[in-house]
């Protein structure tokens, strides 16, 4: 995959002002929180020590016109409450805006990931694991999200703490300030070094959990195979190993965290002890007032914990960068429409517009010219195919598994990018036509059709937006599906997929067919599309297809000779090459695969004829049936 | 359907349920006790710290001679080490409980899932089961580990602080006590809402995950129908929902701490004023005032934790119910007590040739369906009063329209479902009286949409016989007609098939699953449209291979293609759950019935 081009900075685009607002609120909140210890200090050093109330006394005089000690103390209490409440309010503002900023940035990232994946070409994605891609879009995005919403703010807090706290502390007592921060670098670096060191262990835990989940998922999706092979013990053993490995690595991780927290606690408590005893010494020596000492102890609790957090946050920021890199790799997958955009840009620059306007509907002539295809670092799947399909012609593709039939369909639909050779639609190279246009002209029913987790009607309307009930029914009738759907309790509003009903293979294929029929394309591709449909239903469907549109180019991949027989011409693929091509009658007289398939079949037919001849019942006229099935 | 029910909020804590789960914790009694001890010890240490501060402050204030700092420092150091020790101790013990309990719950649930019948899985989507096995397990284990710790620590800590403050200054302590109930109530409400919001986030997140997954699995379909823009619009709806949910959750979380902080500052202010008067009156030392204020700051820590744990406990009720439900679910189909008794008895005198694990003959001879009826949904029978006798070694083909009951028949034979009426027997012995494991390990099943596991092709074939050698695997692949395409692959048998076999075409998957079944060398072979995506020639090769390896074994074939079924010893035409016709191919053709109608349509010769 490509080099990442996503950076933390680019991710926050458009949200930086909001972030600045959040950080500013945080600064106000921190400032507010730093005043109450000063209030306490004034109270202790002033009225409580029997001395001058200083600025606290002045505030009490101004606000409440009181000069009494009690009034001063109550003023102090009120100030503490007000300042803390104010700090609380700004902390809330900070939290809300940090959330808004980060969630907006993340929403944009999610949307563009989804959009990007929808536009990556299929030949690039086929070699990647769906699970891995999904994980990048979810867990990795979440890691980045955590960084943006929590960690960025945490770093900001630490910086602000030092900017705001240090001047105050130094103003109070430079020597005590030194004592207060002497262990802080150690607290920070210990956290930082520790969490950098344990990244590997953390990844191990992550991987162990992933392995456990993957094993579980596989077991549950394949549970019927597990039961059919009576492999419960084998599976339990396999899962048991993953489960125990996850438990052990996770426990090891938690124990390591235990070491961190206890050592870190020792450092933090030592630092506080230094302030306690260093301050006591200074107070005893008369170089520090009691109130200032107490203020220092309070300040310690305010900033030692964020410092401890900072080490961890910075160390784990590495994870966000790794996650971002993995996300960037997805964005690095080339979009299939990139070349189109370049073409358009080129056309604009040279002042040219497309000379020939595109028709609404093509005639459906297809030329394949020396078409070759191979997956990266793989052998040729297709090795120089040349043939032509005339408008309205029906061509069937036959071949053993792996001979390249489905790849040919993928190339025609521009799901895979053609490497060498040319495919033309109505004489225009596919590459020069917009993808959306090509796909709008071709209706395809795939081998394992995908249905959306929506209602049957919504799935059908994927073929044509806004199709009315009548149109839906006409398509489902032709696909021999209407009665099946009518039999469902919720009819066309039945939900399909995990949350709804599970359709059988044959039903799914027929929904996909009806969907393609609604689209009413100029070219229809059926990729093994009726394999799970019984023969009676199949012949009804084929008849309906012929009734429907006699002038539609059709490309059929099938294994039943009864289906193949309908084609005007048959192409036999062997190892990515055309072994034979021609009408049925011609091919059966040859010596190739088709003739062999035919021989198998005709042996059956001969037997059948013999059986029929021997059968005593009324005579049967094969001609009548056969002519009814003749293709146009 | 009592499976995927929605989670319920609030409600009381059902003790019987938790007692069952608590048994998981009791296996680690030592850790539970240690965890409790560390929690209490830590609370005590934390209460002592402010007292040291008080002593130091007071000693500075009053004494003229140098204060005994060394002694205090020593005490401080001891407390420091004790605290660090407690922290390490409770993290390790809580970690141990959490990981081990999670592991044990998961293990038991998994083991039970492997026993449960197909009908259980028909009602529960994989995603639903996955959440039970991952997040529910983690949540419960977490409650036991950290919940237990926080309860003990929190209660000890708050009680200890209260006592200490009461001794130092009764009035302030009582004020604090008065603030506690409303604060606890507010906290509990907040934590509940925060958790509920977090749950909404999680649920939306799993929908988001499903959307990405659908987007990738349905990539081709979306492209072919030029749906990219529509899909994105739908996704944006979802991602906006997610945005709303997370912002709401974050906002709730941002409101709560300031409230707690403000209440604490109110208490601090009161302590300063009230305590200040006493200091002035000479009834209290400055050191006491300082320690009081420190205690107040400490006092509110556990409130947040306890409220969180309580809310978690309330909300985990549903998780607990579902997990216990999963672990205790009884398979609808399992060995009866008598069968189990026989298995125990048979296991004593070792495996004997010709004897199955349940002590009965291991050879499968005549199979009979005796008046079998079946319905998935009440009053919608799939099969009714079905009779069939299959002789040993016979190949039976099942044909007929989709939904006629062919696959159901096979599921019943494999005992994936139990007949609602009638019975199936093997050599006169009802299936219910045989060991389920024995029966299923003697079946070879190949399905139309075969499921492969991720791993190599060789590993997938080996699933049929776990100790198979490479030669056996290659041999099976050859017999299944899979060797041609496998050997043409760059990595041959070591080619990774991807998740669920996604990198192979349907036809290739069918061939691999054929090889898998052949390697198992089952007594009964079941093929449910197993060659639907394979060309007739390859299919012919498979049939030859099968004849070679499975000669004389009973087999059931469901197929639509004439070439597949023609060679069967007997063909059954099944419609509406009944056999409408049966016989050899030639007989059925001659009969001019349903079979004739079905297959004359497949004739292609223009003779």
Q: Helix (H, G, I), strand (E, B), or coil: what is residue B452?
A: coil
Q: Report strand pairing: B429-430 vs B421-426.
A: antiparallel
Closest CA of chain A from B194, distance in Å: 14
Q: How confident is the model at residue B1 (pLDDT cuts 50, 70, 90)?
A: very low
- Residue B574, in any domain of the structure: yes
Nearest by CB to A254, which of B53, B95, B503?
A: B95
Give pLDDT, residue B31. 93
Nearest to B284 by CA among B61, B455, B110: B61
Give pLDDT, residue A349. 53
User: Token match 């093997």: residue?
Assistant: B426
| Interface contact A217-B463, CB threshold 8 A | no
- Residue B313, in any domain of the structure: yes
Q: How confident is the model at residue A132 (pLDDT cuts 50, 70, 90)?
A: confident
Q: How confident is the model at residue B475 (pLDDT cuts 50, 70, 90)?
A: very high
| Number of separate domains in chain B | 2
- Residue B305, in any domain of the structure: yes
Give the tens place of pLDDT for each residue, B281-317. 888 888 888 888 888 888 888 888 888 888 888 878 8
Give the tens place of pLDDT for each residue, A290-344. 889 989 988 888 888 888 888 878 877 888 888 898 899 999 888 887 666 655 5
Range of A273-282, A499-508, B403-412 with top mean pLDDT: A273-282
Chain A stretch 455-484, residues whose beta carbon is closer than 8 A to a beta carbon of chain B: 462-463, 484
- Residue B527, in any domain of the structure: no
- Residue B485, in any domain of the structure: no
Rounded to two decimals, the pTM is 0.84
Last residue of a domain, one of B280, B304, B327: B327
| Residues B86, B234 within the same domain | yes
Chain mean pLDDT for chain A: 84
Give pLDDT, residue A340. 62
Closest CA of chain B from A570, distance in Å: 14
Last residue of a domain, one of B295, B327, B359: B327
Give pLDDT, residue A460. 92
The residue of chain A with its CA nearest to that of B522 is A229
| Residues B313, B362 within the same domain | no
| Residues B322, B352 within the same domain | no
Q: Which range (A105-114, A326-335, A345-354, A359-368) has the least confidence?
A: A345-354
CATH number at residue B222: 1.20.1560.10
Closest CA of chain B from A345, distance in Å: 21
Q: How confident is the model at residue A262 (pLDDT cuts 50, 70, 90)?
A: very high
> What tokens were used for B526?
């079941």
A488 touches A501 (CB < 8 A): yes
- Inform me whether the pLDDT recorded for A217 exceeds 50: yes
Q: Helix (H, G, I), strand (E, B), or coil: what is residue B350?
A: coil
Continuous segment of H or E residues that includes residue A578? strand A577-582
| Residues B160, B229 within the same domain | yes
B58 touches A229 (CB < 8 A): no
> What tokens were used for B426?
């093997």
B480-507: average pLDDT: 85
Give pLDDT, residue A626. 35
Q: How confident is the model at residue A628 (pLDDT cuts 50, 70, 90)?
A: very low
- Residue B337, in any domain of the structure: no
Give pLDDT, residue A153. 85
Continuous segment of H or E residues that includes residue B583? strand B578-583
Q: Helix (H, G, I), strand (E, B), or coil: what is residue A609?
A: helix
Nearest by CB to B520, which of A229, A232, A440?
A: A229
| Residues B251, B376 within the same domain | no
Chain A stretch 88-147, residues whose beta carbon is closer than 8 A to a beta carbon of chain B: 88-89, 91-92, 94-96, 98-100, 103-104, 106-107, 110-111, 113-115, 117-119, 122, 125-127, 129-131, 133-134, 137-138, 142
| Residues B172, B46 within the same domain | yes
- Inform me whether the pLDDT recorded for B6 exceeds 60: no
Q: How confident is the model at residue A346 (pLDDT cuts 50, 70, 90)?
A: low
Residues of B in contact with A258 (CB under 8 A): 87-89, 91-92, 95
- Inform me whether the pLDDT recorded for A104 exceeds 90: yes
- Residue B535, in any domain of the structure: no
CA atoms within 13 A on the CB side of B279: 26
| Residues B71, B147 within the same domain | yes
Q: How confident is the model at residue B111 (pLDDT cuts 50, 70, 90)?
A: very high
Q: Helix (H, G, I), strand (E, B), or coil: what is residue B487?
A: helix
- Residue B62, in any domain of the structure: yes
Q: Helix (H, G, I), strand (E, B), or coil: what is residue B166?
A: helix
Nearest to A387 by CA among A551, A553, A527: A553
Higher-pLDDT residue of B268, A615: B268
Q: How confident is the model at residue A625 (pLDDT cuts 50, 70, 90)?
A: very low
User: Token match 């005089």: residue?
Assistant: A61
| Residues B73, B133 within the same domain | yes
Residues of A in contact with B256 (CB under 8 A): none
The residue of chain B with its CA nearest to that of A93 is B254
Higher-pLDDT residue of A318, A276: A276
Nearest to B106 by CA among B328, B322, B327: B327
Nearest by CB to B498, which of A110, A129, A235?
A: A129
Last residue of a domain, one of B280, B298, B327: B327
Give the tens place of pLDDT for each residue, A582-623. 888 888 888 888 888 777 776 766 666 666 665 544 433 333
Give pLDDT, residue A605. 64
ipTM of the complex: 0.86
| Residues B121, B262 within the same domain | yes
Give the tens place of pLDDT for each residue, A418-458. 878 899 998 888 888 888 888 889 989 987 888 888 899 99
DSSP tag of A415: S
Give pLDDT, residue B236. 95
- Inform me whether the pLDDT recorded for B60 exceeds 90: no
Give pLDDT, residue B589. 79
- Inform me whether the pLDDT recorded for B474 exceeds 90: yes
- Domain span holding position B376: 342-442+568-607
A25-39: average pLDDT: 91
Give the tens place of pLDDT for each residue, A568-580. 899 998 888 898 8
B499 touches A131 (CB < 8 A): yes
A588 touches A595 (CB < 8 A): yes
Q: How confident is the model at residue A210 (pLDDT cuts 50, 70, 90)?
A: confident
Give pLDDT, residue A629. 35
> What tokens were used for B128?
């639903």
| Residues B282, B418 within the same domain | no
DSSP sequence for A273-332 = HHHHHHHHHHHHHTSS-HHHHHHHHHHHHHHHHHHHHHHHHHHHHHHHHHHHHHHHHHHH
DSSP sequence for A542-555 = HHHHHHH-SS-EEE
| Interface contact A257-B95, CB threshold 8 A | yes
- Inform me whether the pLDDT recorded for B454 exceeds 50: yes
| Residues B263, B387 within the same domain | no
CATH number at residue B378: 3.40.50.300
| Residues B360, B258 within the same domain | no
Give pLDDT, residue A424. 92
Q: How far, in Å, CA of B19 to CA of A87, rounded?
A: 44
Give the tens place of pLDDT for each residue, B520-557. 888 898 988 888 878 877 888 888 877 777 677 899 99
């Amino acid at each position: 995959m490509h080099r990442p081009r996503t950076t933390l900075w680019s991710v926050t685009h458009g949200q930086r002002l909001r972030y600045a607002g959040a950080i500013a609120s945080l600064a106000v909140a921190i400032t507010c929180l730093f005043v109450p210890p000063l209030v306490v200090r004034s109270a202790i050093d002033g009225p409580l020590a029997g001395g001058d109330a200083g600025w606290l006394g002045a505030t009490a005089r101004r606000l409440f016109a009181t000069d009494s000690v009690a009034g001063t103390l109550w003023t102090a209490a009120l100030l503490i409450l007000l300042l803390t409440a104010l700090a609380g309010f700004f902390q809330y503002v900070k939290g809300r805006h940090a959330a808004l900023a980060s969630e907006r940035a993340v929403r944009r990232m999610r949307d563009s990931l989804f959009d990007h994946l929808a536009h990556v070409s299929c030949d690039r994605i086929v070699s990647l694991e769906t699970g891995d891609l999904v994980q990048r879009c979810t867990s990795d995005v979440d890691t980045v999200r955590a960084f943006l919403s929590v960690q960025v703010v945490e770093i900001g807090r630490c910086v602000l703490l030092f900017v705001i706290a240090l001047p105050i502390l130094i103003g109070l007592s430079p020597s005590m300030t030194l004592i207060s921060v002497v262990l802080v670098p150690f607290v920070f670096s210990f956290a930082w070094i520790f969490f950098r060191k344990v990244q590997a262990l953390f990844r191990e835990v992550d991987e162990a959990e992933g392995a456990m989940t993957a094993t579980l998922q596989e077991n549950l999706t394949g549970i019927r195979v597990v039961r059919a092979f009576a492999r419960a013990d084998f599976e339990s053993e396999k899962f048991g190993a993953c489960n125990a490995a996850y438990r052990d690595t996770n426990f090891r991780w938690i124990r390591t965290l235990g070491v961190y927290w206890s050592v870190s606690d020792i450092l933090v408590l030592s630092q506080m002890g230094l302030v306690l005893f260093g301050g006591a010494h200074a107070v005893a020596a008369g170089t520090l007032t009691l109130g200032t000492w107490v203020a220092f102890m309070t300040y310690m609790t305010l900033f030692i914990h964020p410092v401890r957090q900072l080490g961890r946050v910075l160390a784990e920021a590495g994870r966000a960068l790794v996650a971002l890199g993995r996300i960037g790799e997805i964005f690095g997958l080339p979009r299939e429409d990139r070349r189109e955009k370049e073409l358009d840009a080129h056309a604009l620059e040279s002042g040219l517009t497309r000379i020939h306007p595109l028709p609404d509907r093509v005639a459906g002539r297809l030329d394949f010219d020396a078409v070759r295809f191979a997956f990266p670092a793989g052998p040729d799947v297709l090795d120089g195919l040349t043939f032509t399909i005339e408008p309205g012609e029906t061509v069937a593709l036959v071949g053993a598994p792996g001979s390249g039939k489905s790849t040919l369909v993928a190339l025609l639909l521009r799901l895979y990018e053609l490497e060498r050779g040319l495919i033309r639609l109505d004489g225009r190279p596919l590459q020069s036509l917009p993808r959306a246009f090509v796909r709008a002209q071709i209706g395809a029913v795939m081998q394992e059709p995908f249905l959306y987790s929506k209602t049957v009607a919504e799935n059908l309307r994927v073929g044509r937006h806004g199709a009315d009930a009548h149109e839906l029914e006409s398509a489902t009738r032709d696909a021999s599906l209407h009665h099946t759907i009518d039999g469902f309790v919720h009819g066309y509003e039945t939900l399909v997929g995990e949350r709804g009903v599970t359709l059988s293979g044959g039903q799914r294929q027929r929904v996909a067919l009806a969907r393609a029929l609604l689209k009413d394309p100029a070219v229809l591709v059926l990729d093994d599309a009726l394999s799970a449909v019984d023969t009676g239903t199949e012949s009804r469907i084929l008849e309906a297809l012929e009734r429907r549109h006699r002038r539609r180019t059709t490309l059929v991949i099938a294994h039943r000779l009864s289906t193949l027989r309908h084609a005007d011409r048959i192409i036999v693929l062997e190892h990515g090459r055309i072994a034979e091509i021609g009408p049925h009658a011609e091919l059966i007289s040859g010596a190739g695969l088709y003739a062999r398939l035919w021989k198998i079949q005709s042996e059956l037919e001969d037997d059948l004829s013999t059986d029929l001849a021997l059968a005593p019942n009324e005579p049967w006229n094969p001609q009548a049936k056969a002519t009814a099935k003749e293709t146009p | 359907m009592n499976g995927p029910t929605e989670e319920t909020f609030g409600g009381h804590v059902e003790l019987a349920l938790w007692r069952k789960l608590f048994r998981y914790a009791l296996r680690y009694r030592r850790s539970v006790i240690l965890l409790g001890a560390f929690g209490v010890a830590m609370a005590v240490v934390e209460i002592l710290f402010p007292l040291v501060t008080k002593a130091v402050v007071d000693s500075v204030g009053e004494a003229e001679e140098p204060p005994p700092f060394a002694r205090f420092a020593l005490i401080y150091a001891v407390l420091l080490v004790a605290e660090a020790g407690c922290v390490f101790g409770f993290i390790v013990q809580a970690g141990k409980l959490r990981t081990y309990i999670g592991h044990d719950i998961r293990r038991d649930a998994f083991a039970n899932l492997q026993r449960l019948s197909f009908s259980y899985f028909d009602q529960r989507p994989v995603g639903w089961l996955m959440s039970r096995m991952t997040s529910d397990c983690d949540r419960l284990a977490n409650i036991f580990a950290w919940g237990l710790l926080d309860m003990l620590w929190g209660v000890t800590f708050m009680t200890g602080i209260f006592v200490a403050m009461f001794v130092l200054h009764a009035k302030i302590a009582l004020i604090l006590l008065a603030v506690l109930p409303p604060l606890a109530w507010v906290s509990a409400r907040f934590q509940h809402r925060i958790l509920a919001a977090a749950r909404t986030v999680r649920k939306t997140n799993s929908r988001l995950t499903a959307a990405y997954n659908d987007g990738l699995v349905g990539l081709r379909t979306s492209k072919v129908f030029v749906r990219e823009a529509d899909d994105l619009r739908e996704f944006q709806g979802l991602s906006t929902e997610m945005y709303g949910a997370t912002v709401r959750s974050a906002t709730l979380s941002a409101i709560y701490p300031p409230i707690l902080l403000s209440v604490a500052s109110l208490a601090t202010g009161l302590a300063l004023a009230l305590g200040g008067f006493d200091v002035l009156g000479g009834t209290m030392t400055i050191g006491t005032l300082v320690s009081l204020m420190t205690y107040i700051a400490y006092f509110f820590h556990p409130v947040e934790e306890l409220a969180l744990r309580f809310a978690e406990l309330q909300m985990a009720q549903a998780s607990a119910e579902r997990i216990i439900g999963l672990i205790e679910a009884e398979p609808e189909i399992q060995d009866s007590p008598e069968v189990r008794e026989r298995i125990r008895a048979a296991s004593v005198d070792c495996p004997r040739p010709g004897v199955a694990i349940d002590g009965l003959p291991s050879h499968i001879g005549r199979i009979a369906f005796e008046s079998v009826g079946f319905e998935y949904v009440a009053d919608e029978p799939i099969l009714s009063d079905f009779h069939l006798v299959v002789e040993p070694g016979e190949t039976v083909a099942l044909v007929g329209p989709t939904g006629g009951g062919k696959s159901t028949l096979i599921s019943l034979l494999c005992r994936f479902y139990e007949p609602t009426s009638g019975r199936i027997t093997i050599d006169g012995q009802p299936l219910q009286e045989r060991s389920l494991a024995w029966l299923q390990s003697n079946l070879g099943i190949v399905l139309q949409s075969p499921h492969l596991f991720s791993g190599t092709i060789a590993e997938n074939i080996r699933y049929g016989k776990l100790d198979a050698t490479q030669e056996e695997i290659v041999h099976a692949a050859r017999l299944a007609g899979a060797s041609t395409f496998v050997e043409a692959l760059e990595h041959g048998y070591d080619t990774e098939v991807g998740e669920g076999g996604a990198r192979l075409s349907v036809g290739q998957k069918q061939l691999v699953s054929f090889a898998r079944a052949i390697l198992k060398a089952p007594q009964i072979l079941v093929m449910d449209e197993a060659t639907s995506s394979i060309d007739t020639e390859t299919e012919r090769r498979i049939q030859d291979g099968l004849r070679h390896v499975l000669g004389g074994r009973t087999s059931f074939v469901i197929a639509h293609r004439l070439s597949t079924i023609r060679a069967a010893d007997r063909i059954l035409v099944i419609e509406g759950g009944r056999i409408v016709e049966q016989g050899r191919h030639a007989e059925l053709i001659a009969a001019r019935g349903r079979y004739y109608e079905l297959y004359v349509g497949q004739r292609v010769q223009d003779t």
